[in-house]
Amino acid sequence: HGNWLRNDARAFAAQHANAQLDGKDDKFEVNIGNFGNTGDYNQQKLRNREYELLYTTPQYNWQWDNDMSREQFKSLRIRSDEIYRNAKFLIGAAVVNRVISAFMAGRSAAAHNRRVRYEGAWQIRVSPSGGFLSIHGMELQLSKAF
């Protein structure tokens, strides 16, 4: 869905601003959404003394037909970015869910195996008799669970 919106926004910019977006970075898309034309953008960069950010070649020219079109493009581009960001969050949540599920399944299987191991099996237990400090011998217990 994010790709569709991004493609729609690019086609819209080509139609309403005569902008060529192929081969351009995301900053260019942000800039054409924030400025009505290349001249306005360049004037702002000159005022900020950001000469290295000027667009000086014809393939970076654009001119919106009206401000409403520029705002519509900007909205489509921002919505596309939000969908990409949400997709990353959902993928992360799915991965965390799988890890937690695997951990819980492992714990459940271990508990089940402990219960099954003692059902119907003989158990032998050896322990010292007489207490910890005064051992008098060894005690042997033999039991069977039913």
End-to-end CA gap in the chain: 60
pLDDT category at 3 given cuts 50, 70, 90 is: confident
* 48-92 pLDDT tens trace: 999 999 999 999 999 999 999 999 999 999 999 888 888 777 788
Global pTM reads: 0.60
pLDDT of 105-128, one tens digit each? 888 887 777 776 656 667 777 777
The crossing angle, in degrees rounded to 10, of helices 67-118 and 2-17 is 170
- Structure-token match 């032998």, residue found: 124
Report the alpha-carbon distance of residue 43 to residue 47 in Å, rounded: 6
Q: State the pLDDT at residue 66.
A: 95
CB-based contact 32:19 (threshold 8 Å): yes
Q: What's the mean per-residue pLDDT of the chain? A: 85
pLDDT value at position 91?
82
pLDDT of residue 46 exceeding 70:
yes
